[in-house]
A and B are shown apart, each in its own frame.
Chain A
Amino acid sequence: MIYFMEKLPKQADNRVTDIHIYIPTQAYFLSGIRDFVLNLTKNMTGFSQQWAYRFQAVVDELCNNAIEHGSQVGQKIKVTLISTPDKSLEVIVEDTGTGKDKMTPEQMTTLFKERKHMVGEKYLGFRGRGLPKIVGEWTDEINFGISELGGLKVHIKKYLRKEEDKVSSVTSKDPTHLILK
């Protein structure tokens, strides 16, 4: 696992911490990224411990999707964490697009919407909860795009509660950028 952190000037774009992590496409490494996200969120973002655990799950699900569906064994996925303290946390997960279930941003957007409808409160299916429920319920925005690595780029954003009212009035003209709350 490769960690790279750069501190950006707060005045430039209000991004304070921008962290890039490359993870080999093996599930073995997911516990490491979960620990990292938990500690980062607890200590550097202004989010509560409850949200730290939630982001841990969100990142785990996104990374697992990128490894299981978006990339072949022996490659790396890229995880970017952007923390704007007391304002928002963003996570970007990118795969190489070489996996068995490669999808376009448009296909992923459609799949996400379908699963949001499919997975109700008493859903008995074996799979399909990660993206619509864990990621979808615990983020404010999700955007599916194309990664420079060749595959899918999933970008999620969560605002601190005091900012959430502002988010609810935002609309997006991009069909693969969903405002969830």
Chain B
Amino acid sequence: MTDVQITIEDLSGLPEGKSGKLIHVVGQLDESNVDEKAKEIYSLIERESQALTLIFDFSGLEYMNSKSIGYLTDWYSKVTASGGNVVIAAARENILDILQVVGLTQLVNTYATVDEAKLAVSQ
């Protein structure tokens, strides 16, 4: 299995009634690991009763395949359907390139840094 680590921390400073998580992804998301890792995010989404904000910190993400983009799209659909928000922060050029070619940047906002993403979702 290709190496990837996902760590999740609470987001503070969100508007009342909203909760949020900052999700750090480090390594490569591919066919060998994405199904297993996706369960952690689905579990997180299913646990939340209030509108959820997810910031994906992709500063350590080296590669993502089309299936992992499919998961990201599905999380976006589920979270926004409940009044929440999903954004991407600090993605490397090759990751932004692949997100753009599949059209995901038309759906999900991207920010150059985690701090910029935090500022955007707190407003």
Contacts and interface: CB of A to CB of B under 8 A. Distances in A.
Interface of A: 26-28, 30-31, 34, 50, 53-54, 56-57, 60-61, 64, 67-68, 119-130, 133-134, 137-138
B98 A31 contact: no
A41 to B, nearest CB: 12
Nearest to A138: B101
Given A30-B30, A50-B93, A54-B97, A124 B73 contact: yes
Given A50-B93, A127-B70, A134-B98, A56 B103 contact: no
Contact of B74 (A27, A28, A34, A126): A126
B106 A27 contact: no
B74 to A, nearest CB: 6
A30 B31 contact: yes
A122 B93 CA distance: 21
A118 to B, nearest CB: 12
B122 interface: no
A134 B102 contact: yes
B109 interface: no
B1 interface: yes
Contacts, number: 85
Interface string B79-120: 000000000000001100110011100110000000000000
A129 B32 contact: no
Given A53-B97, A119-B103, A60 B65 contact: yes
| Chain B at the A interface: SS class | helix
Contact of B103 (A31, A123, A126, A130): A123
Contact of A61 (B66, B73, B103, B107): B66
Interface size class of B (residues with CB under 8 A): 20 to 34
Given A31-B30, A50-B97, 7 more contacts: A26-B32, A53-B97, A61-B65, A120-B103, A123-B103, A130-B67, A134-B102
Contact of A31 (B2, B70, B107): B2
Nearest to A120: B103
B25 interface: no
A64 B31 contact: yes
B73 A60 contact: no
B75 to A, nearest CB: 11
B71 A126 contact: yes
A67 B32 CA distance: 12
B69 A129 contact: yes
B101 A137 contact: yes
5 contacts: A26-B32, A61-B66, A120-B103, A125-B73, A126-B73
Contacts of B103: 119-123, 133
B59 interface: no
Contacts of B73: 123-126
A53 B74 CA distance: 25
B32 A28 contact: yes
